[in-house]
Amino acid sequence: MTVLALETSCDDTCAAVLDGDGRALSNVISSQLAHGAFGGVVPEIASRHHLEHVNAIVEQALSEAGVGLEDIELLAATRGPGLIGALLVGLSTAKGLAAARELPFAAVDHLQGHVAANFLRGPEPDEGPFEPPFLCLIASGGHTLLARVEAHEGFEILGRTLDDAAGEAFDKGARMLGLGFPGGPALERLAEQGDPAAFSFPGSPGELRRGAPRKPFADGLDFSFAGLKTALLYATRELTAEQLAERSADLAASYQAAIVESLISRTERALQRTGLERLAIGGGVAANGPLRRRVAELDAEVHIPGRLLCTDNAAMIASAARYAPRLPYPEYLGMDAYATGEAPG
């Protein structure tokens, strides 16, 4: 079944075409740069950008895939969670395209999409898919969780962040260090020149070296990044502007190492507790080089999707759509988006 999917839950306008074997024929991503000036995503700007670009992005996804709308057999879009105005643009466009040809429609949960990036087949005949059961670490701008994936259709949450998401920690840390938005890639670049053990942050190598307890709390599978963020704030306040400029790479490296350690320690623990021997990752933070290297070293059969399949994209939504319930025309026409939580009944 050839699938056309749209993803507009945040600030990227994305469309992709998937063939019947779960191979991406195209995966178009239009990133919005306008938010940089505001230091974060502005919902109204995001919605307007989606509205202005979505038709061209769909056209591009079809043409790069070498297919026409008449070849599409299933339409799909992210229904939530995300920015409601942004979601509505992709959802309404996909529903409209489906309705025009009386095609079935599949609504996809964004987090299920990040998991389903692992179900995609690569361009080579023997590449993927990575099949359940596996443990999945999802770390994005809005979510951080460990999931037990037993089937293609869903997952069970084993642990999640109690406060900020890992991506949010990257973005806010980058802001404190005077870097642009989105902060993750900028902070990673700066950290390359720094010493990860230079500063002592909760969970960082600097702290470990001095024999401090390895984990901020006991032995759960939940995450917390708020304390770490505050620790970075205090560290920057203790420095003069000149010192801050001098030490910013060390701060970035130590801060990044602490985020990565926090993700890795709980993932390792979840592998031990569940007895799962296979591990996959997803979400924008899974594009982070040091995290990818640490994950690859874990004692498990590891699947690490390409960077463009970790950050928001529509191929992962099309992949999830292959296993999601399909609504026949016209049952989906009244379907609404949702901003938080799970799809309403």
What are the phi and psi torsion angles at 140 (to 5°)?
-135, -165
Give residue 46's identity as a one-letter amino acid code.
A
- C-alpha distances in angstroms, 117 versus 2, 24, 40, 43, 253? 17, 10, 25, 25, 28
Per DSSP, the residues of 54-108 read HHHHHHHHHHHHT--GGG--EEEEEEESS-HHHHHHHHHHHHHHHHHTT--EEEE
- Among 26, 140, 144, 224, which residue interacts with ligand KG4 (rule: CB under 6 A)? 140
Residues 6+ apart with CB under 8 A from 56: none
Q: Is 250 in the site for ligand KG4 (CB under 6 A)?
A: no
Q: Site for Zn ion (CB under 5 A): how many residues?
A: 2
Choose between 74 and 286: whose C-beta lies nearer to Zn ion: 286
CB of 70 to ligand KG4, least distance (A): 32
CB of 140 to Zn ion, least distance (A): 4
Q: Is 140 in the site for Zn ion (CB under 5 A)?
A: yes
Q: Is 185 in the site for ligand KG4 (CB under 6 A)?
A: yes
Q: Is 283 in the site for ligand KG4 (CB under 6 A)?
A: yes
CB of 139 to Zn ion, least distance (A): 10
Q: Is 141 in the site for ligand KG4 (CB under 6 A)?
A: yes
Q: Is 312 in the site for Zn ion (CB under 5 A)?
A: yes
Q: Which does 183 bind (CB under 5 to 8 A by kind): Zn ion, ligand KG4, none?
A: ligand KG4
Q: Is 287 in the site for ligand KG4 (CB under 6 A)?
A: yes
Instruction: DSSP letter for 131, please.
Output: P
CB of 7 closer than 8 Å to CB of 14: yes
CB of 257 closer than 8 Å to CB of 195: no
Q: Which does 184 bind (CB under 5 to 8 A by kind): Zn ion, ligand KG4, none?
A: ligand KG4
Q: What is the C-alpha to C-alpha distance for residues 42 and 34, in angstroms, rounded to an integer?
A: 9
- Among 22, 80, 173, 184, which residue interacts with ligand KG4 (rule: CB under 6 A)? 184
CB of 5 to ligand KG4, least distance (A): 15
CB of 258 to Zn ion, least distance (A): 22
Q: What is the C-alpha to C-alpha distance for residues 214 and 108, in angstroms, rounded to an integer?
A: 38
- Among 22, 104, 132, 183, which residue interacts with ligand KG4 (rule: CB under 6 A)? 183
Dihedral angle, C-alpha 89, 94, 99, 103, nearest 10 °: -170
Q: Is 78 in the site for Zn ion (CB under 5 A)?
A: no
Beta bridge partners of 145: 138, 160
CB of 233 closer than 8 Å to CB of 287: no
- Collapsing DSSP to helix, strand or coil, 199 comes out as coil
Q: Which does 313 bind (CB under 5 to 8 A by kind): ligand KG4, Zn ion, none?
A: none
User: Quick one: tokens of 255?
Assistant: 């801060």
Choose between 143 and 322: whose C-beta lies nearer to ligand KG4: 143
CB of 266 to ligand KG4, least distance (A): 17
Choose between 141 and 202: whose C-beta lies nearer to ligand KG4: 141
Q: Which residues are at the interface with Zn ion (CB under 5 A)?
A: 140, 312
Q: Which residues are at the interface with ligand KG4 (CB under 6 A)?
A: 10, 140-142, 167, 170-171, 182-185, 188, 283-285, 287-288, 311-312
